[in-house]
Amino acid sequence: MLTGVVALPLLILFVIYTNTVLFTALVCGITFLALFEYYAMCLPAERARERITAAGFGVLLVPLLSFHRPDLLTAGVVFSVLFFAIFFLLRFRDLNTVVQHLTLLLFGLLYLPLLLGHLALLRGLPFGREWIFLVLLIVMAGDTAAYFTGVSLGRRKLYPAISPNKSIEGALGGLAGSLVGALIAKFWFFPALILLDCAVLGLFLGVLGQLGDLFESMLKRSFGVKDSGTIIPGHGGMLDRLDSLLFAFPPAYYYALLRFGGGAP
């Protein structure tokens, strides 16, 4: 098993040294693991066949997204809906739960492949490596600052029904950390950014990162689990490591398109 300490350097090496095809393959592998964890949380053990099949379908949506062909992606989503609608129709076990299980399965295909697939899209943009490291730094700096601010200054609960340990003070400290992370990125490895970029991205992605974390916490609480998995010992599952990033990659991609376009840098 990979610990968080080992996994991050490996991701950095992949970002730096692999081409877009190999990097997309890595994203497909991460998507499969995260989807498998999600389905293990939300679908019962007797739906094991549906879990693995849906995870495989989800992996196929990532390269379809990276082809920049909306028609292919739409076809992939439509075929997935049709396939699993018929699959559940022919193999339902309990009419009281079959629609719930089908809905959770189809939501997983939107939540993870379509959001995480934007990581592969970012890698193919001008300054693609820089954009990925920027998002990682903004989100990680925000997470770190939120934790230490919350531990030392946290008094008012942010959203106790979803995450009892998070505080308003921690959330504000996390936003400050995200802003600092964006500024560090500009002066360290991404000079093409201007200060307005740092302010917009730091605040916007900082907020979205925290919302992504809360959203995954909501999912886990609704499914009655503490962690999404155990693939990263001491750090929970793959989905636990991705939660803040899932909401940050897509907006970063579209901001990058708006700011720099899709041509050569």
CB 40 within 8 A of CB 229: yes
Q: How confident is the model at residue 190 (pLDDT cuts 50, 70, 90)?
A: very high
CA dist 64 and 202 (Å) reads: 30
What's the pLDDT score for residue 25? 93
Phi, psi of 232 (to 5 degrees): -115, 95
Note the pLDDT tens digit of each residue in 228-261. Answer: 766 655 556 788 888 899 999 999 999 999 988 7
CA dist 207 and 228 (Å) reads: 22
CA dist 109 and 81 (Å) reads: 9
Instruction: Tally the residues of the chain.
Output: 265
Cβ-based neighbour number of residue 94 at 10 Å: 10
Record the tokens describing residue 242, joined without a space.
């991705």
What's the pLDDT score for residue 1? 32
CB 228 within 8 A of CB 114: no
Note the pLDDT tens digit of each residue in 20-64. Answer: 899 999 999 999 999 999 999 999 988 899 999 999 999 999 999
Note the pLDDT tens digit of each residue in 92-149. Answer: 878 889 999 999 999 999 999 999 999 999 999 989 999 999 999 999 999 999 999 9
Contacts of 22 by beta carbon, 8 Å cutoff, 6+ apart: 14
Query: 157: alpha, beta or left, given left = phi > 0 and alpha = psi -120 to 50?
Result: beta
DSSP 114: I
What's the pLDDT score for residue 2? 33
CA dist 63 and 123 (Å) reads: 13
Contacts of 25 by beta carbon, 8 Å cutoff, 6+ apart: none
- Whether residue 4 is predicted with pLDDT greater than 50 in this model: the reply is no
CB 74 within 8 A of CB 89: no
